[in-house]
Amino acid sequence: MIEIKNVTKNFDDFKAVNNITLHIREKETFGLVGTNGAGKSTLLRMIADIYKPEQGEIIIDGENIYDNPTMKSNFFFISDEQYYPKNANAKYLIQFYCSYYPGFNKKRCLSLLENFDLNPSKKIDGFSKGMKKQLFMILGICAGTKYLLCDETFDGLDPVIRQTVKSLIANDMMERGLTSVISSHNLRELEDICDCIGLLHKGGVLLSDELNSLKLNLHKVQFILKDNLTAEESASGIPDGVSVVYKEHHGRLITMTLEGNEATIHSWFQSMDIVFYEMIPLTLEEIFISKTREVGYNVKEIIF
Amino acid sequence: MLKKLYFKHIHRHIGTIGVYFILYFLLSNVSLMKSISTYLHNGRDISHYINGSLIFDFSNSLFLIIVMLSFIEAYRQFHYLHERKEIDFVYSLPVSRNWIFLSRYISGILCIIIPFILNMVIGFIIAGVYGASGYVMFHIFLVTLVEFLVFIFCYTFCVLFMIMTGHSLVYWCSLVLFNVIPLILVQVIQLTLISKYKEWKLIAESGDGNPIAYRLLKDIDNFSPAYLVYHFKVAFDSDYDSYGYYDFRNHFHKLTEFIPLIVVYTLLLFTVIFLLYKMIRTENCGRVLSFSQLQRPLQIFFTVISGIAIGSLSGYQAEVTYPISYSLNVPFYLLSTLLSIFIIHSMFEILFCGEIKKIFRHKWQLFICTGVTFACSIQPYLYYQRYH
């Protein structure tokens, strides 16, 4: 398990990560999402022991990670822009990582490289950006570590490769209990693979919960008013345990994002005097937009 | 761990070791063979030449190459401290940071020791072929050892610069600033002032009442690798007589004094760099300095030193140009000193902030630097006034 306890990180006067507490359970895929500059990469780098937190601690399997090579052999970090030695090819990297990660599966790695149509003898400099990401993803999965940390790895992969990588991660999760922490702006992809989501904004955590729980608690409802009702009248009498996160109206069509129990919301709308209502499942992207809108981060605030 | 960190990837260093070997070979054994062949061509007794003069000795070009290699090797080994992608890669590996530092440091030394040893063996062979005595063989070994120690000292010093700076360009500029400029300025000031004023020479030689300007530059000079190498070379050169022979006993005595000194100095320096390495914040990679607390002190230090040096020199130049009237020195001296203070101080502000409009960000600091600079650099002219 990865425990992030009250971690803070400053870059001079700027607080990149502000008192974050998160728990990442074993054998799950944790999606780290957030606005630009929220502190996702900084947090991942602290977990990977690249940055030292100003306050707090990061504990992996009961031990503090800072300068702890034994614990560090349990994870593999894939950066958004991965470094490789000059003139190196995939074969060299395989040999390199074999010496640091005893569980590295060389045979599987070469097989995957062949499946992904990546020449192991070709210099990495000759690969495109997407191919380099594929290569490091394969190396990370084949390292045989307990944890896999990915910083914006899906971004830059084509749809077919994205599906393939997701399948590989899911397969390793089932077979050997791999735990992955993936940060990405591609929420559509994360939605398919993640069990839990952590949403960061301006260095803090807006929410951290299982994806299913999030979807159970947040609902998008569209309804059409009768001629004789105003939007305010129709939205009166909100039941206990339900709150309006966001409301928008176009004439008689009202769209609301509500937080609360689904059954309660259903019964509320059934009791209302409206023409029609429909409950639409929220995507992760819509959850993201709703939650960040609550703290004032939305399109209208930025542009106008 | 060391084996995993270095030896498994030694094939990546073979090219570098090869280049160093060829360079060292050309400057040591090839030039040696050239002087031997010249001697043989003149029909003289070669074994007398080899046993009587110190042809297996330090050469200027070789010393210069040793210093240059230390600059390059420190950069090669610790380059990852200046590259964000590389530092992410290195620090995410399951290796202790202490081991990373030690393996890189030792790697740099091993890249040099192999060419040194190979060339020393070739030197033994050449000396043996031409009838050199055991004394000369021992001298070859001692010279190689001293050159190696000089390399380690310079290399350790350069590693300090790599750790202190966060950007490769800043590393190279600071090496030049710290090594070349004080060395040149001390020599220039010494030569110009001493040649002009006989009284100055007496003061400088006695060490009593040396102007602060000169003393400050000498103090910086003392800590730079270039100073050590230059003055060491000068000290040993002076042992030659007009026939090109020298007193071996005196030579060995100097060498044996020098070796413990350089070993102690290097060990102290190594301790400092190891402690500083542990204090580095990874996020400062790519910045001008790894330790942002040093920005202000360094800015003040270099502004004052440069102002003193340029002020002293410009005042002298003014006097050479206008020997008739002393009063014409003052405006020239004032203007050049003020200009140098402003330019150096502003350069550092731009370097640290990246914006030209912030050059007056620390006005009080600029005023203080100006005051200190004038107080130090006016001293030589007060001495002049005293003696005239």
What is the arithmetic mean of pLDDT over A34-51? 91
Print the domain residue range for B54: 2-167+223-283
Q: What is the pLDDT of residue B208?
A: 46
Task: Tell me what percent of the residues of chain A surpass a pLDDT of 70.
Answer: 94
User: Is residue B377 domain-shared with residue B240, that is, in the same domain?
Assistant: no
Contact B283 A11 (CB under 8 A): yes
Report ipTM for this prediction: 0.85
User: Number of Cβ pairs closer than 8 Å across A and B?
Assistant: 53
Which SS3 state, helix, strand or coil, does residue A16 take? strand
Q: What is the pLDDT of residue B209?
A: 47
Q: Which amino acid is at B85?
A: K
Q: What is the pLDDT of residue B223?
A: 65
Listed ranges A95-99, A154-158, A161-165; the one with the highest mean pLDDT: A95-99
Q: Is residue B60 part of a domain?
A: yes
B83 inside 8 A of chain A by CB: yes
Neighbours of B292 (CB within 10 A): 14
Contacts of A81 in chain B (CB under 8 A): 85
Reply yes or no on whether the pLDDT at B207 is more than 60.
no
Contacts of A85 in chain B (CB under 8 A): 12
Pick the CATH number of A2-202 from 3.40.50.720, 3.40.50.300, 3.40.640.10, 3.40.50.2000: 3.40.50.300
User: Is residue B76 domain-shared with residue B28, that is, in the same domain?
Assistant: yes
pLDDT band at B323 (very low <50, low <70, confident <90, very high): very low
Q: Is residue B245 part of a domain?
A: yes
Task: Tell me what percent of the residues of chain B surpass a pLDDT of 90.
Answer: 15
Task: Tell me what percent of the residues of chain B surpass a pLDDT of 70.
Answer: 65
B9 inside 8 A of chain A by CB: yes
Structure tokens at B153: 């000292």
Q: Is residue B349 part of a domain?
A: yes
User: Is residue B279 domain-shared with residue B299, that is, in the same domain?
Assistant: no
**By C-alpha distance, which of B303, B305, B275, B307 is closest to B291?**
B275
B88 inside 8 A of chain A by CB: yes
Pick the CATH number of A213-303 from 2.60.120.960, 3.30.420.40, 3.30.70.60, 3.20.20.70: 3.30.70.60
A81: which residues sit within 8 A by CB, 6+ positions away?
B85
Which of B283, B309, B333 delimits the end of a domain?
Answer: B283
Option in A51, A84, A99 nearest B283 (CB):
A51
Contact B94 A48 (CB under 8 A): no
How far off is chain A from B287, nearest CA to CA, in Å? 12
Q: What are phi and psi of B278, to 5 degrees?
A: -70, -20
Listed ranges A150-164, B65-79, B303-317; the one with the highest mean pLDDT: B65-79
Q: What is the pLDDT of residue B243?
A: 62
User: Is residue B75 domain-shared with residue B140, that is, in the same domain?
Assistant: yes
Q: Is residue B203 part of a domain?
A: no
Contact A49 B91 (CB under 8 A): yes
B48 inside 8 A of chain A by CB: no
Query: What confidence tens digit (pLDDT) does each residue in B269-315 have?
Result: 999 999 999 999 888 888 888 888 888 888 888 888 777 777 766 66
Q: Which of residues B47 and A276 earns the better pLDDT score?
A: A276
Q: What is the pLDDT of residue A214?
A: 78
Option in A52, A72, A83 nearest B88 (CB):
A83
**Domain total for chain B?**
2
Contacts of B96 in chain A (CB under 8 A): 67, 69
User: Is residue B263 domain-shared with residue B366, that is, in the same domain?
Assistant: no
Q: What is the pLDDT of residue B238?
A: 55
Q: Where are the beta strands (DSSP E) in chain A?
A: 2-11, 14-24, 29-34, 55-60, 63-64, 75-78, 147-151, 179-183, 196-201, 204-210, 218-225, 243-250, 253-259, 274-280
On whether the CB atoms of residues B78 and B159 are closer than 8 A, the answer is yes
Contact A79 B85 (CB under 8 A): yes
In this structure, is the dihedral angle defined by the CA atoms of residues B198, B204, B209 and B211, taken in order, positive or negative? positive
On whether the CB atoms of residues B208 and B328 are closer than 8 A, the answer is no
Contacts of B12 in chain A (CB under 8 A): 85
On whether the CB atoms of residues B382 and B374 are closer than 8 A, the answer is no
On whether the CB atoms of residues A105 and A142 are closer than 8 A, the answer is yes
Reply yes or no on whether the pLDDT at B53 is more than 70.
no
pLDDT band at A41 (very low <50, low <70, confident <90, very high): very high
Reply yes or no on whether the pLDDT at B363 is more than 60.
yes
Query: What confidence tens digit (pLDDT) does each residue in A247-262 have?
Result: 888 888 888 888 888 8
What is the arithmetic mean of pLDDT over B64-78? 89
DSSP codes of every residue in B92-137 = HSSS-HHHHHHHHHHHHHHHHHHHHHHHHHHHHHHHHHTT--HHHH
User: Is residue B299 domain-shared with residue B152, that is, in the same domain?
Assistant: no
User: Is residue B48 domain-shared with residue B128, that is, in the same domain?
Assistant: yes
Contacts of A77 in chain B (CB under 8 A): 88, 92
pLDDT mean across residues, chain B: 76
